Structure 1
Amino acid sequence: MQSLIGTGVALVTPFKKDFSVDVEALKAIVNFQIDNGIDYLVILGTTAESATLSKAEKELVIKTIVDTNNGRLPLVLGVGSNNTAEVVEELKSRDFSDFVAILSVSPYYNKPTQEGIYQHFKAIAEASPIPVILYNVPGRTASNILPSTIIRLANDFKNVVAVKEAAGDIVQAMKLIQDKPKDFLVISGDDMVTLPMVLAGGAGVISVIAEGFPKQFSEMVHLGLNKRVDDAYKIHYLLAESIDMIFEQGNPAGIKEVFKALGLSENIVRLPLVNVNEDLANRLHNFTNKISKM
């Protein structure tokens, strides 16, 4: 899965002032990623506000991104739920010819045991016609996929090819990297620890901040992959402040404010999310303007 090495971005869904999907802004955002060195695109992840999109809106988002991308970058589709049967049904009914893999989040709210998590992803692996990226994000799911469970899945199913590891625990990430099968990819799901994970043997990132600063963040990841440590850390510390800021009042409210500063889209999110406050908006605009002039 060489196409999943480097910098992927979890695309937002831009909205108009009437809260409808802003198709033209979405096209502009996709082209902005492609023109600035991003390696692959992730559709309908958490950052896309997929929880508040209707089925028809999800299909519109998918079609818009697929058509705009036009085969230029590999595409990953978010297919996850805390209802295992629902995921399996989608995997059996959807056309995945435009995608290199799915990204599937660990079941949220139900709080399954490690065996329950294993059986959930076993069902997904057996049903999926394309490779599967596991997504471990305990801050959203209320349960952590232990390294032993991830390694078990990686060894048992050849199409379980990677994990997006967003526990924010560098020790856990290093344990995964140490014990994983040779070709299994450990992908950072936490922007702030991306570079340390890459230098430890990780495969890259599925990022939020990289959407706003794709050229810089992608360069940092590639420098890290090439073990150019000092050069990579210069970019890390340049962007570190912005990583804290975009998550300070929730995702994707922060990154949407960056897009507003860049003139790519409005800063509109759907309830129960709300926009960042004026103070954070000003700080994000100032940072974005500073980076844009560099």
Structure 2
Amino acid sequence: MSVSVGNDAADSARHRQALADLEAFSRSQEPGVWPHLDKAEIIAEMRSHLRNPFTVNQGQQPFCGPASILFELIRKLPQRYVTLTRALFETGGFQGHSRQIQTSEALRQASQGNLRMGPADWMILATLRESENLIFPVEPNAPEIVRNLAGMTKSWEMKGWVREILGYRHVDYRHTYVLRDLSALRHSQEVLNRGGVAFGLITASTLLTDKPAKIAVPEHWIAIVGNVSIQKGSFGRHDSGHVSFDCFTWAKRMTVDADEGPFEDAFWGVVLGWN
């Protein structure tokens, strides 16, 4: 299973097949193994996502990394999205690129009440979050600030999902803790142009709100989707340039628009996947 650069006709055919597969899922009499999740709600939510992947919603849960992966799965591999979600609902697991991903009975039983998001998103995002610490070994050479982050997906786990869920053959992480921010962003656009994916690790309040963080820390993953613009600064003033790009996060398309200095302070690295 791999991702290739698509065209409008091929994308349209994939989308039609995904909708047909979703209809088959809705008619299936196979019982689910998530006793507290409603199948009709799951089908409706999936149909909405196939119409507009930007509706993927992490709610108030710390699922920004898995949500970014899910967004690109729906955008680039809609048929696989339906197949994966159906398998997860009916069997409690799904086949990744190289391994079986299986949920725990405890997670399936606990998935009830106020999930803070729709049941389809919860089922996938909670599964990824539960399993990532178990199947992806810690990268000992990763910067300490990343290794010590609690409660969020790490860079090596994002790399793992780019392989296991999205099926890209080439996966790389470029950290930008010491310069190279603009180079990494420029390379992200090149990867996107070739049909790949780019996931940025940022300080969200600095780049996505009007309330910059007093102390910048890497704490939020976004999916970079394009329109990268880099304006070089004046000679001798390394932080006088300006950058902008579009991204997916928080169930919508957003635009990062920042001066070079704040961008360098709040852009920590990027995970890339391409074929």
Quickly name the TM-score band, shorter chain normalised: under 0.3
TM-score of the pair, normalised by structure 2: 0.26
Q: More helix by proportion, 1 or 2?
A: 1
TM-score of the pair, normalised by structure 1: 0.25
The answer to which structure, 1 or 2, has the higher relative contact order (CA under 8 A, 6+ apart) is 2
Q: More strand by proportion, 1 or 2?
A: 2
